[in-house]
Structure 1
């Protein structure tokens, strides 16, 4: 799929044209007073009775809010009835990461795209007439010249009592910025967030934020349900108190200066952590139902599970190993997870390694219902033959998924074991997509490797137990 700046420029230019031709002095706090002219009977007849345009304004705005910004803006050209409708949509999603995917490191076109992106966002906000926002999302590679604009965008969103705020100013290199390189900081009193009673979801990515500020949000946002912080060097210590009554989902990832996270939130359902080994107590509360752990913390956890007895009450667990070493795992004694229903492993490993050393972990989950493996496979100089694994019946396992399937000994061994052991297997899926490409324009790109992986998966069909579905993507 080919990306360039032409479509993006047209979007910005189109909004500029709309702004220049609109009456921006008209502002309405209610949907009922939208300055739009209804089509007369003749116009309806000529349009073969346009039933959609006859719907109430509130319903049309709800429909437009489900479209992309580009699609919603285009509807202004349909008729006078639709001219200003897009300015009342409740979701402003300025996600332009597809442009970043089309650029290479050091590409000078980024210096052209940034001003266009700023112009696009600013023109939409100038034309916007809605009284409130359900969602406000910024996703683009921005630099220090954009700080003033970002402040204005945050103030705008808060004034509109936004519910879901997503600030992602990740750079094209996708590396952690030095503290002085962060282009947006929330390290002292959170300017622009003084009134955040409406927030239910806050996501900060490549935004330098401190634990003190996050605790401010958790205390002063009584309806905050989801909090995500990704790549922030300013975060060192964080206490999630019992006052965070509504908080159900918390994610702290790639914050490599963090030292401790103390959690006392009673209603936390899902917790995700990827980063260094830290102190992570659940104070006076049980761990959440779902947990995702990765990085050095996961490497330590998987070799010392017996020291983390509180984790035995989990129902869903995802382990993302930063460094896979079968020798260090081979002699690990896993405790019994009597409540675990779903287990997902995210592993980067090569041809010379074996994943069957993790079979004891799978067998330590007697009531496991679903198993998922995400494999980032790489070639090695040493290639080995298939090895057999002693079978132990898995009475409750029904769903198995392989993402990043390559059809080499490393994943064939595990797939064979699971198909023979899962006596109640209902479905097994082989997905050859590379996990790190999922969500990018290259996700579904066809390759020789994918075709070979599918052929190798097909050879396993004969080992499928009766009645189970066999899916190859």
Structure 2
């Protein structure tokens, strides 16, 4: 018979207990020191350290909490002595100064840290120490938040680094500094740079034969880069956000599978093209995205922001054919038209899944029969030739929930899709309304639809509202019985 009173946990070896404690924050792990003498210092020996004082701060005790936090981190690092550090995660807000943070970083670097994540307020820690970019042991480095400490990248030597994610970065030497970063990380496979300030650069070249994932999101500014070149033949995932460049030299995206593109015009350029467009005048392109699209045309999954839709309308000579594209997501905005969408859909002959993040957009006479926002309908339909089988509508009714007119506009667009897309097998509408009857109303309107292009289409209305059924099956003349 098994002895149920036996203390199984205390019978485990120290190294296994440390691995278990590594799944907790260091603060939570420290509470186990109250269990017994054996547990008193065990928490400080875990290979992974996670310090977070932001979520636990109370406004009335900020100074006291910060002082206690500093003492706690100092104590844990002192107890560890010379033990190896596997992962060090630090998240701290105002009140933690560089004179506190720098010794902690130096400590874990000396002890061979391989995974370092820093989330530090920029108010008192503005520049991080340069020694951070000369580690011989770091495999993963993440620095944030978005408006966090700035990084001056001069000399970089991170010989083992495979993942680098920085949410705010300033290159002290412009493009030269960027080149130094890539050359100083010879085995880098994932690079994420957000809020990148390169508004004073003439051009940029992203060249790496090793990279597999690239996120390059540039800060908003009033300038357009002259030239942006991508030579990243092994990248499978690309996220690119920037003002449109004047030129995109022929790039290399041979392995690209998924891309998220947000190319935008400056505010002045947007105001100018919208003014000219409303007057039906010809506009001069401020940049040319054609070569960028040509480079990524082998992609299988593509996300386009509403800024990109507008930019393609005014800054693209021709949309190339995306033969491999099977999944397309379109973001909508009430201030931006769908003018470029008809040509885009015609250029996706094998598209299977189409997702709309919102349906409200600026009404124009240039979006053809993709919608009927101005009551225009053509005999030759880009939708009637659309091969899409799965259509998803996100954020239905979310933009203007109190405006019944806008809700009716969205419903009419959905009905139009059902009437035109011939191969549609499934339509899913995400409608997170707080009112239960809203979902029933959408269901009722779709049930009354008699003219459809696909008799096999199944429709679902889904809501996260816990007071209503998460899935509302809809029966219609297009189906027999309930659709599940």
1:290 is the counterpart of 2:258: yes
8 Å CA contact 2:258–2:300 kept in 1: the answer is yes
Correspondence for 2:109 among 152, 158, 170: 158
Instruction: State the distance in 1 between where 2:296 and 2:88 align.
Output: 35
Count the aligned residue pairs.
Answer: 388
Q: Which residue of structure 1 aligns with residue 29 of structure 2? A: 72
Q: 1:160 to 1:467 in 2, by over 3 A?
A: farther
Q: 1:252 to 1:310 in 2, by over 3 A?
A: closer
- 5 Å-filtered alignment, 1:436-447, equals none
Kindly state the Cα deviation for residue 320 of structure 1 after the two structures are TM-superposed: 2.0
Q: 1:323 to 1:217 in 2, by over 3 A?
A: closer
Deviation per CA, 1:159-216, whole angstroms, max 9, x where unpaired? 34444444444669xxxxxxxxx874432535xx65x333222221234344544433
1:340 is the counterpart of 2:360: no
Correspondence for 1:275 among 229, 232, 242: 242
1:147 is the counterpart of 2:113: no
Q: Which residue of structure 1 aligns with residue 167 of structure 2? A: 205
Q: 1:186 to 1:374 in 2, by over 3 A?
A: same
Correspondence for 2:463 among 428, 449, 472: 472
Q: 1:87 to 1:212 in 2, by over 3 A?
A: farther
1:309 is the counterpart of 2:297: no
Deviation per CA, 1:430-473, whole angstroms, max 9, x where unpaired? 053xxxxxxxxxxxxxx85x767645554466369555655332
Q: Which has the higher contact order (CA 8 A, sep 6+)?
A: 1
Q: 1:472 to 1:228 in 2, by over 3 A?
A: same
Instruction: Please provide the CA RMSD for this pair.
Output: 4.9
User: What is the TM-score of this pair, normalised by structure 1?
Assistant: 0.63
8 Å CA contact 2:153–2:181 kept in 1: the answer is no
- 5 Å-filtered alignment, 1:257-406, equals 259=225, 261-278=228-245, 279-281=247-249, 283-286=251-254, 288-296=256-264, 306-307=290-291, 308-322=293-307, 334-349=319-334, 358=341, 360-375=343-358, 391-392=383-384, 394-398=386-390, 400-403=392-395, 405-406=397-398
Kindly state the Cα deviation for residue 339 of structure 1 after the two structures are TM-superposed: 1.0
Q: Where does the alignment leave 5 or more consecutive residues of structure 1 unmatched? A: 1-43, 173-181, 433-446
Which stretch of structure 1 is more off in the superposition, 401-410 or 217-226?
401-410
Deviation per CA, 1:211-245, whole angstroms, max 9, x where unpaired? 54443343233332222222243684654333x52
8 Å CA contact 1:274–1:297 kept in 2: the answer is no
8 Å CA contact 1:399–1:428 kept in 2: the answer is yes
Larger Rg: 2
Instruction: State the distance in 2 between where 1:169 and 1:139 align.
Output: 6
Q: Which residue of structure 2 aligns with residue 49 of structure 1? A: 6
8 Å CA contact 1:271–1:292 kept in 2: the answer is yes
1:412 is the counterpart of 2:385: no
8 Å CA contact 1:249–1:268 kept in 2: the answer is yes
- 5 Å-filtered alignment, 1:98-137, equals 98=55, 118=70, 121-128=73-80, 131-133=84-86, 135-137=87-89
Instruction: Give the secondary structure class of the aligned counterpart of 1:349.
Output: coil
Instruction: Give the secondary structure class of the aligned counterpart of 1:67.
Output: coil
1:222 is the counterpart of 2:182: no
Kindly state the Cα deviation for residue 422 of structure 1 after the two structures are TM-superposed: 6.7
Q: Where does the alignment leave 5 or more consecutive residues of structure 2 unmatched? A: 124-146, 274-284, 364-371, 402-406, 450-454, 465-484
